[in-house]
Protein backbone atom coordinates (compact mmCIF):
# COMPACT_ATOMS: atom_id res chain seq x y z
CA UNK A 1 0.00 0.00 0.00
CA UNK A 2 2.74 2.42 0.98
CA UNK A 3 4.75 1.64 -2.16
CA UNK A 4 1.63 2.37 -4.19
CA UNK A 5 1.18 5.70 -2.45
CA UNK A 6 4.77 6.64 -3.11
CA UNK A 7 4.33 6.08 -6.83
CA UNK A 8 0.91 7.73 -7.06
CA UNK A 9 0.73 11.10 -8.76
CA UNK A 10 -1.87 13.82 -8.44
CA UNK A 11 -3.20 15.90 -11.33
CA UNK A 12 -0.38 18.44 -10.87
CA UNK A 13 2.27 15.73 -11.40
CA UNK A 14 3.45 15.65 -7.78
CA UNK A 15 4.09 12.61 -5.66
CA UNK A 16 1.03 12.31 -3.41
CA UNK A 17 3.24 11.25 -0.50
CA UNK A 18 4.74 14.75 -0.23
CA UNK A 19 3.11 18.11 0.36
CA UNK A 20 5.22 21.21 -0.20
CA UNK A 21 4.55 24.20 2.01
CA UNK A 22 5.68 27.81 1.56
CA UNK A 23 7.08 29.90 4.48
CA UNK A 24 7.57 26.86 6.72
CA UNK A 25 10.81 27.92 8.40
CA UNK A 26 10.54 27.23 12.13
CA UNK A 27 9.43 24.73 14.75
CA UNK A 28 6.32 26.86 15.32
CA UNK A 29 5.43 26.38 11.64
CA UNK A 30 5.81 22.61 12.04
CA UNK A 31 3.36 22.72 14.95
CA UNK A 32 0.85 24.71 12.86
CA UNK A 33 1.09 22.16 10.03
CA UNK A 34 0.74 19.24 12.45
CA UNK A 35 -2.38 20.80 14.00
CA UNK A 36 -3.89 21.40 10.55
CA UNK A 37 -3.25 17.81 9.45
CA UNK A 38 -4.71 16.50 12.71
CA UNK A 39 -7.77 18.73 12.33
CA UNK A 40 -8.50 17.23 8.90
CA UNK A 41 -7.76 13.69 10.07
CA UNK A 42 -4.99 13.16 7.51
CA UNK A 43 -2.50 10.32 7.95
CA UNK A 44 1.03 11.72 7.85
CA UNK A 45 4.61 10.86 8.68
CA UNK A 46 7.68 13.02 9.02
CA UNK A 47 7.21 16.80 8.98
CA UNK A 48 10.27 18.61 7.61
CA UNK A 49 10.79 22.32 7.00
CA UNK A 50 8.98 22.98 3.74
CA UNK A 51 7.38 19.59 3.29
CA UNK A 52 5.40 16.83 4.95
CA UNK A 53 4.92 13.17 4.07
CA UNK A 54 1.30 11.97 3.85
CA UNK A 55 0.07 8.39 3.55
CA UNK A 56 -3.16 8.86 1.64
CA UNK A 57 -4.61 10.51 -1.43
CA UNK A 58 -5.80 14.05 -0.68
CA UNK A 59 -8.98 15.06 -2.49
CA UNK A 60 -9.28 18.55 -3.94
CA UNK A 61 -11.77 19.43 -1.21
CA UNK A 62 -9.39 18.42 1.60
CA UNK A 63 -6.46 20.02 -0.23
CA UNK A 64 -8.34 23.34 -0.35
CA UNK A 65 -9.42 22.97 3.30
CA UNK A 66 -5.82 22.35 4.37
CA UNK A 67 -4.56 25.31 2.37
CA UNK A 68 -7.23 27.56 3.91
CA UNK A 69 -6.09 26.60 7.42
CA UNK A 70 -2.42 27.12 6.56
CA UNK A 71 -3.05 30.52 4.93
CA UNK A 72 -4.36 31.83 8.27
CA UNK A 73 -0.86 31.32 9.68
CA UNK A 74 1.00 32.71 6.67
CA UNK A 75 1.72 29.27 5.18
CA UNK A 76 0.66 28.00 1.76
CA UNK A 77 0.58 24.74 -0.19
CA UNK A 78 2.71 24.86 -3.33
CA UNK A 79 1.88 23.28 -6.70
CA UNK A 80 4.43 24.52 -9.24
CA UNK A 81 7.67 22.49 -9.28
CA UNK A 82 9.87 25.56 -9.80
CA UNK A 83 8.10 27.40 -6.98
CA UNK A 84 8.60 24.39 -4.72
CA UNK A 85 12.36 24.32 -5.37
CA UNK A 86 12.77 28.10 -4.99
CA UNK A 87 10.90 27.99 -1.69
CA UNK A 88 13.12 25.16 -0.49
CA UNK A 89 16.16 27.36 -1.24
CA UNK A 90 14.57 30.27 0.66
CA UNK A 91 13.71 28.03 3.62
CA UNK A 92 17.27 26.64 3.81
CA UNK A 93 18.74 30.17 3.80
CA UNK A 94 16.29 31.53 6.40
CA UNK A 95 16.78 28.52 8.67
CA UNK A 96 20.57 28.70 8.24
CA UNK A 97 20.83 32.41 9.14
CA UNK A 98 17.96 32.98 11.56
CA UNK A 99 17.48 29.66 13.36
CA UNK A 100 20.78 27.75 13.41
CA UNK A 101 23.25 28.36 16.25
CA UNK A 102 26.05 29.03 13.80
CA UNK A 103 26.54 29.37 10.06
CA UNK A 104 27.93 26.34 8.19
CA UNK A 105 31.69 26.00 7.85
CA UNK A 106 31.45 25.18 4.14
CA UNK A 107 30.65 27.58 1.30
CA UNK A 108 26.95 28.48 1.03
CA UNK A 109 26.89 27.12 -2.52
CA UNK A 110 28.12 23.73 -1.29
CA UNK A 111 25.76 23.75 1.69
CA UNK A 112 22.63 24.51 -0.38
CA UNK A 113 23.66 22.18 -3.21
CA UNK A 114 24.22 19.32 -0.75
CA UNK A 115 20.93 19.96 1.04
CA UNK A 116 18.92 19.82 -2.19
CA UNK A 117 21.12 17.31 -4.07
CA UNK A 118 21.15 19.69 -7.05
CA UNK A 119 23.81 21.55 -9.02
CA UNK A 120 24.25 25.03 -7.53
CA UNK A 121 24.50 26.80 -10.89
CA UNK A 122 21.09 25.39 -11.83
CA UNK A 123 19.64 26.38 -8.44
CA UNK A 124 21.05 29.90 -8.68
CA UNK A 125 19.77 30.40 -12.23
CA UNK A 126 16.32 29.17 -11.26
CA UNK A 127 16.25 31.34 -8.13
CA UNK A 128 17.32 34.42 -10.10
CA UNK A 129 14.72 33.69 -12.79
CA UNK A 130 11.86 33.36 -10.28
CA UNK A 131 12.89 35.92 -7.62
CA UNK A 132 14.83 38.42 -9.72
CA UNK A 133 17.76 38.23 -7.28
CA UNK A 134 20.71 35.84 -6.96
CA UNK A 135 21.05 33.41 -4.05
CA UNK A 136 24.16 35.34 -2.95
CA UNK A 137 22.24 38.61 -2.70
CA UNK A 138 19.36 36.88 -0.91
CA UNK A 139 21.83 35.55 1.65
CA UNK A 140 23.39 39.00 2.09
CA UNK A 141 19.93 40.51 2.63
CA UNK A 142 19.14 38.03 5.42
CA UNK A 143 22.57 38.37 7.02
CA UNK A 144 22.03 42.13 7.23
CA UNK A 145 18.50 41.56 8.61
CA UNK A 146 20.04 39.35 11.31
CA UNK A 147 22.69 41.98 12.04
CA UNK A 148 19.95 44.64 12.38
CA UNK A 149 18.08 42.39 14.81
CA UNK A 150 21.16 41.87 16.98
CA UNK A 151 21.96 45.60 16.92
CA UNK A 152 18.39 46.60 17.81
CA UNK A 153 18.31 44.19 20.74
CA UNK A 154 21.87 45.06 21.75
CA UNK A 155 22.80 41.37 21.87
CA UNK A 156 26.31 41.56 20.43
CA UNK A 157 28.98 44.10 19.56
CA UNK A 158 29.66 44.89 15.91
CA UNK A 159 32.86 42.85 16.12
CA UNK A 160 30.96 39.84 17.47
CA UNK A 161 28.27 40.21 14.80
CA UNK A 162 30.83 40.34 11.99
CA UNK A 163 32.41 37.14 13.38
CA UNK A 164 29.09 35.32 13.82
CA UNK A 165 27.98 36.22 10.29
CA UNK A 166 31.38 35.19 8.88
CA UNK A 167 32.53 38.57 7.60
CA UNK A 168 36.25 39.04 7.15
CA UNK A 169 36.17 42.22 9.25
CA UNK A 170 33.93 44.82 10.89
CA UNK A 171 34.68 47.13 7.95
CA UNK A 172 33.41 44.53 5.48
CA UNK A 173 30.17 44.14 7.46
CA UNK A 174 29.74 47.93 7.74
CA UNK A 175 30.25 48.41 4.00
CA UNK A 176 27.74 45.71 3.10
CA UNK A 177 25.34 46.95 5.76
CA UNK A 178 25.33 50.49 4.36
CA UNK A 179 25.13 49.23 0.78
CA UNK A 180 22.07 47.10 1.64
CA UNK A 181 20.17 49.45 3.97
CA UNK A 182 21.52 52.86 2.96
CA UNK A 183 22.40 53.42 6.63
CA UNK A 184 25.37 52.60 8.88
CA UNK A 185 25.07 50.02 11.70
CA UNK A 186 25.43 52.84 14.23
CA UNK A 187 22.00 54.14 13.15
CA UNK A 188 20.27 50.95 14.34
CA UNK A 189 22.36 50.88 17.50
CA UNK A 190 21.24 54.45 18.19
CA UNK A 191 17.59 53.45 17.67
CA UNK A 192 17.95 50.89 20.44
CA UNK A 193 19.54 53.44 22.77
CA UNK A 194 16.80 55.95 21.99
CA UNK A 195 14.04 53.43 22.72
CA UNK A 196 15.52 52.46 26.07
CA UNK A 197 16.47 56.01 27.01
CA UNK A 198 20.11 55.05 27.40
CA UNK A 199 22.92 57.41 26.56
CA UNK A 200 26.17 56.54 24.81
pLDDT at 75: 92
Q: Which domain holds residue 196?
A: 80-200
In sequence order, the β-bridge partners of residue 52 are 19, 47
Distance CA 200, CA 65 (A): 53
Whole-number Cα distances in Å, 55 to 6, 75, 141, 160: 8, 21, 38, 46
pLDDT in tens, 42-78: 999 989 888 898 988 888 888 899 999 999 999 999 8
For 32, the 3-state DSSP assignment is: helix
DSSP letters of 51-85? EEEESSPPPHHHHHHHHHHHHTTT-EE---HHHHH
Distance CA 183, CA 169 (A): 18
pLDDT in tens, 148-188: 999 888 888 999 999 999 999 999 999 999 999 999 998 88
Specify whether 173 is located in the same domain as 109.
yes
Q: Number of structural domains, the chain? A: 2
Averaged pLDDT of the chain = 85
* CATH code of residue 87: 1.10.10.60
Q: Model's pTM, two decimal places?
A: 0.67
Amino acid sequence: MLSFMKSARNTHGFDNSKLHIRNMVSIRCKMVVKAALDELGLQYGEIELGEVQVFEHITNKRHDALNAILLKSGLELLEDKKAVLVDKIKDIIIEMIHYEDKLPDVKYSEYISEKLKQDFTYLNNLFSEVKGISIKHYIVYHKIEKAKEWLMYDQFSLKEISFKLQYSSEAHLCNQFKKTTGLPPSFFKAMKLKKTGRSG
